């Protein structure tokens, strides 16, 4: 299952997973990151409180990764 491969046991917040699922390029890039980098991104999402804010967070990540 792709979610298990991406999280590799670190646990991914549902909102982040949903936002990544809606941005295939960001999802692929996130999946290729080392575990410590994935965990840092996950840690940054703990203060996000809305779907819109999470989608914006992922889209901004995508821009910084130049995957859009």
pLDDT at position 68 is 47
pLDDT exceeds 70 at position 10 = no
Structure tokens at 33: 């990151």
pLDDT at position 8 is 55
Who has greater pLDDT, 34 or 66?
34
Who has greater pLDDT, 11 or 66?
11
Read off the pLDDT band of 67 (50, 70, 90). low
Long-range contacts of 57-65 (CB under 8 A, 24+ apart): 57/16, 57/19, 58/16, 58/19, 58/20, 58/22, 58/23, 58/26, 59/23, 59/26, 61/26, 61/30, 62/23, 62/25, 62/26, 62/29, 65/26, 65/29
């Amino acid at each position: 299952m792709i979610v298990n491969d991406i999280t590799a046991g670190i646990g991914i917040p549902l909102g982040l997973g949903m936002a990544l699922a809606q941005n295939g390029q960001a999802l692929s890039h996130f999946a290729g990151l080392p575990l410590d980098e994935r965990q840092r991104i996950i840690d940054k999402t703990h203060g996000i409180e809305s779907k819109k804010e999470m989608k914006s967070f992922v889209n901004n990540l995508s821009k910084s990764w130049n995957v859009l």
